[in-house]
C-alpha cells in the first residue's frame, strides 16, 4: 500500500496541534449510551463539535462495553487530530488519512485475531475436547492462519465491510474457512465442533480488556502506508506527535439501559429519553417528535425548540415490538439482523401479524411458515406489526404535528423505515418530514455528551467514572 | 449508581402516629377474630362510599376487602393469592384486588395480622363509581351464601350532585340499607348514636384536612401520597366516627405541625426528607407489591408528593365536605356522592388543576394501574389537559395494584427518572445557546 506522495508543504506539527489544543490537551466530553444490544460513545470538543465516536456489542457486560466504546471514540479523536494536521499540509497529505485509518484498523483486527487464536487453543487444552483434539487442533490452526493471511482484504480504502464489529468480521471469515476445510472430501473436519469453538472463544475475546497504545499501533500501521522518500520524516513526526498528544476527558454522562448497573456517579447519569431527544434534535434541529426503537424499549418523545423533552411515552415492562424482537426473528430464520429489512422489502404482500410478543416471535413465525406463507411476506407483516405498536406509543406521547425523527438501532432497517413513513403519512398527513440518519444509533450518546458539555460549561464537569481500564 | 437493594428498603414510617395506627388495626382484627365468640355480626363493605358510622352505630364490625387486598400486596402474599384465583378460573384481566381477595379466601382467609377473618354476615355493596364492586360481591355471595344489600350511588358525570341524587340515596338508606342492617344487628338504629358518631367523624376530618394542607409548606412536612396512604388508613376503613380516629388524627396533626415548626420533611425510605427538590401531584393508586421500592424511586431523588387523588377516594374532605350530625342520612348521601371515584373526568381534571396550583407543584405524574378501569380510563386525556391548563409537565407510568407481575421495576424507574430529569431540564433549560441554535452536524 506504500505510495509515492508529493507533499507541497510541511507545516510545523507542534504549531498545528497547539492551535487545535490551546490548553495543551484535546478537551472532550464523553457521552456513553449503554444499550441492551450495543454500547455507543460520542466525544465532543468544547465547542460542541463531534470529534470521536465508538460502538461495540454490549453482550451483557456493560463495563467492558463502555470501556471499549470509549476507547474506540478516543481513537477516533486522535484520527480527527491527525486529519487536522494532514489537512494543513494540503490535499495530498489529506488523502493519506483514509489508508492510515484502515491500516490502523487492520492492526487492531490482527491483535484481536491473535487473542482469538490464544482463546481457541486454550479451549482445546480443556479435557472436554480431548476426544476431538487431534482432528480439531490442526483444523482450527489452519482456519486461523488463513484468516490472518486474508485479513488485509477486509481493510483498505473501499473495502466495503458489512460490519465494524470484530465478532461479525471474524465470525464470517472463520465460518467460511471452516466450511471450505470441512468440504474437502475425506478431511474428517468436524465442522459443527469447529464453529462451536469460535462461538465459545469469541465471548471471552469480546469481553477482554486490552490496553491499546494508540501511538505504537499507529506507527506500526504507518509503516505499511506512509509514502517513502521525501517528507517521510515529517509524516513520521505527525504520527508520533498525534500518537502522544494528550486527550483530556473533562466531563462525562452515561445513559441507556445499562446505566444503572455501572458505578457511574449519580450526577453523571441521564435518562436515555432526554439524551435521545436532545441528540436527535441536534442532528435535525426542526425535530419536535422523536421515535426511538432500541433493543428493548420503544419511546415516543416530544421535544421543544431546544431539544428538551416535554413529554414521552414508552412500552411497559414488555419488550414486544422492540429491536430484540427482530433479533429473535433473525435468529429463527438463521439470518443476520441486517438482512431482515432487505428481505422484507422483497415481499409481494403483507401477511397480517397480530402478535409482536417477543416471547412468541418464533412460534408466530413457524405457524405462518407452516401455513405455506413466504418468509418475505411474513417479514413484511412483522415489520408492520412492530410499527403499528410504535405508532400507538407515538400517539400516546402526543402524536406528530411537526418534523419527526426516527432513531435507535431499528432505524437501520430499511423495511422498518419504509413502513413507518407510510404509517406516518396515513395518520398525520403527507406533509410531515420524516428524518432518518445512518448514524441514528448514536443519538443517545450524542445527547449524553451534550449534557456532559452543559455540565462542563456550568463548572460541574470533571466527574469521571472509574472505567474498566485495559 | 448506588441503590438500595429492595430487601433492605426500610419500613418507611416509624412516627408515633404510625405505631398507634398499627395498634388500632391489631385491635380491630382481634375483635374480628373473636366476633363469632362475642356474638358480633360482620359486614363486608368498600372504601368509597363506606357507611362506617352507620355500622358502628348498630354495633356491627366492618371488614374492607380492598384494604385486605392491598395489605396482602404489601406483605408479598398477593402473587400467590392471584394465582389461586386464576386457578379457579378468573381471567388474567380481572381486577387484581378481586382476585387477591378470592385467592385469600381460598387460602384460608387469613387477614393481614395473621388471624383468620370471620365470614361476612352481610355484604354491604356501596356502589360508588366502580363497576367491579358489583361483580366482586356477586362472587363473595356465591362464596358465603349471605345476603347482599346494595346502595346505588349515582355517578357524577359533570361534578354536580343534584337534590334528586341525594334524595335517591337517602331513600335507599331508609328503605333498604338500614332495615337490612337493623335486621342483622337485631336492633333498631339509634339516630342519636349515628349523629354522635358523625360528630366524631367531623373532628377527625378537620385534623386530616389540616394534615393534607400542611403540604402547602416548603419543605412539605408530609408526603401526600406514599405517606398519605398511611394517613388515610383509619378514616377510610373501620375507624371513622370513633374516638380512636380522633386520637390518631390529633396525634398525626401534632406531629406534622411540629415538623413545620422545625422546618422538617416527612420520614421516607431514605430517611427524613428535609431537602425537597421536586414537588409533585400524583394521580392513581400506588403499587402495593413493591411499595417501598416504588417510594424509594422518588425519595432518593428528593421528590415529595404534595397532593394525590388516590388519598381522596374515600372522601374529599379538603374540598369542604364534612359529615353533619344534624342531617345524618343526607350527610352520608353527600359523602358517597362526592368520593373521588364517583367523579367524571371534568371534575377530576378541575381538582387536579387546583392541586397543581395550590400546592405549587413542579410536576404532575399519573400511575396508571392495569387493574382499575374506572381509575385508568381517560388518564392520558387528564395528563394533556393538566399540561395545557397549568404548563406543568406531566409524566405517565404504568403498574398494577397487587399483581407483582405488572411491576417492571427497571421500566418504572426509567420513567420516573426520565420524568424528574425532564422537570430539571425544563426548569433550568441547561442548554448552551450555541448548541441550541447551532447548525445540523454530521455524526
Where do the domains of chain A lie? 1-96+226-284+444-470, 106-206, 286-436
Best mutation target among A43, A263, A283, A311 (most B Cβ atoms within 10 Å) is: A311
Higher pLDDT, A136 or A290: A290
Please check the confidence at residue A160 and state whether its pLDDT lies above 80: no
Residues of chain A contacting B290 with CB distance shorter than 8 Å: none
CB contact under 8 A, A269 and B1: yes
**For residue A371, what pLDDT is reported?**
87
Least confident of A347-356, A403-412, B131-140: A347-356
Residues of chain A contacting B1 with CB distance shorter than 8 Å: 259-260, 262-266, 269
CB contact under 8 A, A48 and B443: no
What is the average pLDDT across B306-333? 95
Residue in A151, A207, A147 with CA at minimum distance from that of residue A174? A147
CB contact under 8 A, B443 and A454: no
Integer Cα distance of B305 and B285 in angstroms: 13
**For residue A458, what pLDDT is reported?**
87
What is the average pLDDT across A272-281? 94
What is the average pLDDT across B63-75? 94
Q: In Å, what is the CA distance from B181 to each residue of A223, B193, B408?
A: 98, 15, 44
**For residue A317, what pLDDT is reported?**
61
Cα R_g (chain A), whole angstroms: 24
In the block, which residue shows the cell 484535546? A26
Please check the confidence at residue A3 and state whether its pLDDT lies above 60: no
What is the average pLDDT across A394-410? 92
**For residue B122, what pLDDT is reported?**
98
What is the average pLDDT across B182-196? 97
CB contact under 8 A, A308 and B425: yes
The tens digit of pLDDT for each residue in A171-213 reads 989 999 999 988 887 777 888 889 999 989 988 888 777 777 8
Across chain A, mean pLDDT equals 86
Task: Please identify among residues 216-275 of chain A the ones whose CB lies closer than 8 Å to any CB of chain B.
Answer: 257, 259-260, 262-266, 269-274
Least confident of A66-70, A150-154, A206-210, B253-257: A206-210
**For residue B441, what pLDDT is reported?**
44
CB contact under 8 A, B411 and A308: no
Please check the confidence at residue B439 and state whether its pLDDT lies above 60: no
Please check the confidence at residue A1 and state whether its pLDDT lies above 80: no
| ipTM of the prediction greater than 0.95, yes or no | no
Q: Does A56 touch chain B (CB under 8 A)?
A: no
Across chain B, mean pLDDT equals 91
Cis amide bond preceding B219, omega within 30: yes
Q: Does A190 touch chain B (CB under 8 A)?
A: no
Integer Cα distance of A388 and A422 in angstroms: 11
**For residue B364, what pLDDT is reported?**
97
**For residue A81, what pLDDT is reported?**
86
Sorting pLDDT into bands at 50, 70 and 90, what band is B443? very low
- pTM, full prediction: 0.86
* Second CATH level (architecture) for the domain A1-96+226-284+444-470: 2-Layer Sandwich (3.30)
**For residue A5, what pLDDT is reported?**
53
Residues of chain A contacting B422 with CB distance shorter than 8 Å: 271, 273-274, 308-310, 312
Least confident of A143-157, A182-196, A356-370, B365-379: A356-370
**For residue B42, what pLDDT is reported?**
97
Q: Mind telling me how many Å the CA of B443 is from chain A's nearest CA?
A: 6
CB contact under 8 A, B418 and A274: yes
**For residue A357, what pLDDT is reported?**
67
Higher pLDDT, A131 or B304: B304
CB contact under 8 A, B425 and A266: no
Can you identify the CATH homologous superfamily of domain A286-436? Answer: ATPase, nucleotide binding domain (3.30.420.40)
Task: Please identify among residues 17-46 of chain A the ones whose CB lies closer than 8 Å to any CB of chain B.
Answer: 42
Integer Cα distance of B17 and B273 in angstroms: 18
User: How many CB atoms neighbour CB B14 within 10 A?
Assistant: 9
Q: In Å, what is the CA distance from A152 to each residue of A114, A148, A224?
A: 15, 8, 11
Question: Which of B408, B421, B432 lies at the smallest CB-CB distance from A317?
Answer: B408
Question: Which of A398, A446, A450 lies at the smallest CB-CB distance from B443?
Answer: A446
Integer Cα distance of A45 and A51 in angstroms: 6
Residues of chain B contacting A442 with CB distance shorter than 8 Å: 443
Q: Helix axis angle, A62-88 relative to A13-20, nearest 10°?
A: 130
Please check the confidence at residue B422 and state whether its pLDDT lies above 60: yes
What is the average pLDDT across B50-71? 96
What is the average pLDDT across B100-117? 92
Please check the confidence at residue A2 and state whether its pLDDT lies above 80: no
Q: CB of B313 within 8 A of CB of B48?
A: yes
For A39, list phi and psi in degrees, rounded to 5. -115, 130
Question: Which of A47, A263, A311 lies at the smallest CB-CB distance from B394?
Answer: A311
Residue in chain B lying closest to A283 (CA):
B440
Residues of chain B contacting A458 with CB distance shorter than 8 Å: 430
Question: Which of A263, A274, A304 lies at the smallest CB-CB distance from B421?
Answer: A274
**For residue B222, what pLDDT is reported?**
97
Q: Which residues have CB under 8 Å from A382's CB, separation 6+?
A: A325, A326, A329, A344, A353, A356, A364, A365
Residue in A122, A141, A146 with CA at minimum distance from that of residue A203? A122
The tens digit of pLDDT for each residue in A5-32 reads 555 667 787 887 887 787 888 899 999 9
Task: Please identify among residues 391-410 of chain A the ones whose CB lies closer than 8 Å to any CB of chain B.
Answer: 396, 398
Please check the confidence at residue B155 and state whether its pLDDT lies above 60: yes
The tens digit of pLDDT for each residue in B354-401 reads 999 999 999 999 999 988 877 888 999 999 999 999 999 999 999 999
Integer Cα distance of A198 and A205 in angstroms: 10
Angle at B96 between CA B94 and CA B97, to 5 degrees: 120
What is the average pLDDT across B308-330? 95
Please check the confidence at residue B58 and state whether its pLDDT lies above 90: yes
Question: Are domains A1-96+226-284+444-470 and A286-436 of this chain identical in fold?
Answer: yes
Regarding beta strands B42-45 and A404-407, do their DSSP bridges make them parallel or antiparallel, or are they unpaired? unpaired
Sorting pLDDT into bands at 50, 70 and 90, what band is A464? low
**For residue B436, what pLDDT is reported?**
37
Please check the confidence at residue A230 and state whether its pLDDT lies above 60: no
Quick one: cell of B43?
A: 359486614
Share of chain B above pLDDT 90, in %: 82
Torsion, CA A288, CA A291, CA A292, CA A296, rounded to 10:
140
Q: Where are the beta strands (DSSP E) in B2-143?
A: 42-45, 61-63, 122-127
Q: Reduced to 3 states, what is the DSSP secondary structure of residue B61?
A: strand
Q: CB of A206 within 8 A of CB of A166?
A: yes
Q: Mind telling me how many Å the CA of B420 is from chain A's nearest CA?
A: 9
What is the average pLDDT across A280-284? 94
Please check the confidence at residue B154 and state whether its pLDDT lies above 50: yes
Q: Mind telling me how many Å the CA of A2 is from chain B's nearest CA?
A: 30
Amino acid at each position: 500500500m506504500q505510495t509515492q506522495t508529493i507533499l507541497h508543504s510541511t507545516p510545523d506539527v507542534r504549531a498545528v496541534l497547539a492551535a487545535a489544543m490551546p490548553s495543551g490537551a484535546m478537551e472532550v466530553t464523553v457521552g456513553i449510551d449503554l444499550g441492551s444490544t450495543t454500547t455507543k460513545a460520542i466525544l465532543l470538543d468544547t465547542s460542541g463539535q463531534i470529534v470521536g465516536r465508538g460502538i461495540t456489542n454490549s453482550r451483557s457486560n456493560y463495563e467492558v462495553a463502555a470501556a471499549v466504546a470509549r476507547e474506540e471514540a478516543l481513537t477516533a479523536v486522535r484520527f480527527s487530530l491527525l486529519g487536522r494536521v494532514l489537512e494543513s499540509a494540503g490535499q495530498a497529505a489529506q488523502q493519506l488519512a483514509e489508508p492510515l485509518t484502515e491500516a490502523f484498523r487492520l492492526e487492531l483486527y490482527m491483535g484481536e485475531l491473535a487473542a482469538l487464536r490464544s482463546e481457541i487453543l486454550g479451549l482445546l487444552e480443556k479435557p472436554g475436547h480431548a476426544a476431538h483434539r487431534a482432528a480439531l487442533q490442526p483444523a482450527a490452526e489452519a482456519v486461523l492462519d488463513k484468516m490472518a493471511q486474508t485479513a488485509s482484504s477486509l481493510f483498505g480504502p473501499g473495502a466495503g465491510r458489512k460490519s465494524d464489529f470484530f465478532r461479525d468480521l471474524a465470525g464470517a471469515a472463520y465460518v467460511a474457512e471452516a466450511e471450505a476445510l470441512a468440504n474437502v472430501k475425506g478431511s474428517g473436519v468436524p465442522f459443527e465442533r469447529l464453529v462451536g469453538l469460535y462461538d465459545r472463544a469469541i465471548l471471552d475475546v469480546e469481553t477482554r480488556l486490552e490496553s491499546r497504545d494508540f501511538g505504537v499501533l499507529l506507527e506500526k500501521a504507518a509503516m505499511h502506508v506512509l509514502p517513502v522518500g521525501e517528507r517521510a520524516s515529517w509524516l513520521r513526526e505527525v504520527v508520533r506527535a498525534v500518537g502522544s498528544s494528550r486527550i483530556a476527558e473533562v466531563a462525562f454522562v452515561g445513559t441507556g439501559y445499562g446505566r444503572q448497573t455501572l458505578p457511574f456517579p449519580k450526577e453523571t447519569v441521564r435518562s436515555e429519553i432526554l439524551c435521545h431527544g436532545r441528540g436527535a434534535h441536534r442532528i435535525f434541529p426542526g425535530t419536535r417528535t422523536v421515535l426511538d426503537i432500541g433493543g428493548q424499549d420503544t419511546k415516543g418523545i416530544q421535544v421543544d425548540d431546544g431539544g428538551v423533552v416535554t413529554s414521552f411515552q414508552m412500552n411497559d415492562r414488555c419488550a414486544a415490538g422492540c429491536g430484540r424482537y427482530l433479533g429473535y426473528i433473525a435468529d429463527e430464520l438463521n439470518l443476520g439482523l441486517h438482512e431482515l429489512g432487505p428481505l422484507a422489502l422483497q415481499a409481494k404482500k403483507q401477511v397480517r401479524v397480530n402478535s409482536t410478543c417477543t416471547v412468541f416471535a418464533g412460534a408466530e413465525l413457524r405457524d405462518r411458515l407452516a401455513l405455506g406463507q413466504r418468509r418475505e411476506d411474513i417479514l413484511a407483516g412483522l415489520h408492520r406489526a412492530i410499527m403499528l405498536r410504535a405508532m400507538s406509543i407515538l400517539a400516546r406521547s402526543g402524536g406528530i404535528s411537526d418534523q419527526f425523527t426516527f432513531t435507535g438501532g431499528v432505524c437501520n432497517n430499511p423495511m422498518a423505515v419504509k413502513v413507518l413513513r407510510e404509517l406516518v403519512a396515513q395518520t398525520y398527513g403527507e406533509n410531515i418530514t420524516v428524518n432518518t440518519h445512518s448514524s441514528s444509533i448514536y443519538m443517545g450518546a450524542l445527547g449524553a455528551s451534550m449534557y456532559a458539555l452543559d455540565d462542563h460549561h456550568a463548572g460541574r464537569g470533571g466527574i469521571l467514572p472509574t472505567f474498566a481500564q485495559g | 449508581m448506588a441503590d438500595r437493594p429492595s430487601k433492605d428498603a426500610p419500613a418507611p414510617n416509624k412516627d408515633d402516629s404510625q405505631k398507634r395506627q398499627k395498634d388500632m388495626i391489631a385491635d380491630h382484627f382481634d375483635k374480628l377474630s373473636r366476633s363469632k365468640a362475642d356474638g358480633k355480626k360482620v359486614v363486608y363493605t368498600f372504601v368509597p362510599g363506606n357507611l362506617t358510622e352507620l355500622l358502628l352505630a348498630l354495633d356491627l364490625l366492618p371488614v374492607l376487602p380492598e384494604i385486605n387486598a392491598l395489605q396482602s400486596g404489601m406483605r408479598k402474599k398477593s402473587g400467590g393469592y392471584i394465582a389461586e384465583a386464576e386457578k379457579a378460573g378468573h381471567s388474567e384481566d380481572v381486577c387484581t384486588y378481586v382476585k387477591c381477595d378470592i385467592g385469600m379466601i381460598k387460602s384460608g382467609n387469613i387477614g393481614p395480622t395473621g388471624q383468620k377473618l370471620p365470614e361476612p354476615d352481610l355484604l354491604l355493596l356501596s356502589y360508588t363509581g366502580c363497576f367491579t364492586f358489583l361483580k366482586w360481591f356477586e362472587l363473595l355471595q356465591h362464596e358465603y351464601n349471605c345476603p347482599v344489600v346494595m346502595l346505588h350511588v349515582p355517578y357524577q358525570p359533570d361534578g354536580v350532585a343534584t337534590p334528586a341524587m341525594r334524595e335517591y340515596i337517602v331513600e335507599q338508606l331508609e328503605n333498604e340499607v338500614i332495615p337490612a342492617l337493623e335486621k342483622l344487628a337485631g336492633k333498631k338504629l339509634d339516630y342519636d348514636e349515628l349523629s354522635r358518631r358523625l360528630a366524631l367523624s367531623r373532628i377527625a376530618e378537620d385534623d386530616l384536612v389540616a394534615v393534607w394542607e400542611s403540604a402547602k409548606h416548603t419543605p412539605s412536612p408530609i408526603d401526600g401520597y406514599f405517606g398519605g396512604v398511611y394517613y388515610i388508613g383509619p378514616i377510610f376503613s373501620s375507624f371513622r366516627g370513633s374516638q380512636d380516629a380522633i386520637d390518631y388524627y390529633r396525634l398525626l396533626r401534632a406531629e406534622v405541625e411540629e415538623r413545620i415548626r422545625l422546618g422538617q420533611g416527612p420520614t421516607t425510605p431514605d430517611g427524613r426528607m428535609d431537602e425537597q427538590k421536586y414537588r409533585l401531584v400524583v394521580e392513581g393508586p400506588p403499587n402495593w407489591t413493591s411499595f417501598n421500592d416504588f417510594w424509594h424511586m422518588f425519595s432518593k431523588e428528593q421528590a415529595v408528593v404534595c397532593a394525590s387523588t388516590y388519598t381522596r377516594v374515600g372522601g374529599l374532605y379538603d374540598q369542604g365536605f364534612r359529615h353533619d350530625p344534624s342531617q345524618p342520612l343526607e350527610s352520608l348521601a353527600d359523602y358517597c356522592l362526592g368520593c373521588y371515584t364517583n367523579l367524571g373526568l371534568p371534575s377530576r381534571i378541575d381538582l387536579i388543576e387546583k392541586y397543581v396550583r395550590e400546592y405549587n407543584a413542579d410536576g404532575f405524574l399519573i400511575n396508571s394501574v392495569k387493574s382499575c378501569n374506572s381509575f385508568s380510563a381517560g388518564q392520558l386525556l387528564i395528563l394533556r389537559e393538566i399540561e395545557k391548563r397549568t404548563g406543568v409537565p406531566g409524566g405517565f407510568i404504568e403498574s398494577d395494584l397487587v399483581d407483582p407481575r405488572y411491576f417492571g421495576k427497571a421500566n418504572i424507574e426509567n420513567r420516573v427518572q426520565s420524568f424528574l430529569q425532564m422537570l430539571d431540564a425544563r426548569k433550568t433549560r441547561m442548554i448552551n445557546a450555541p448548541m441550541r441554535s447551532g447548525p445540523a452536524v454530521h455524526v
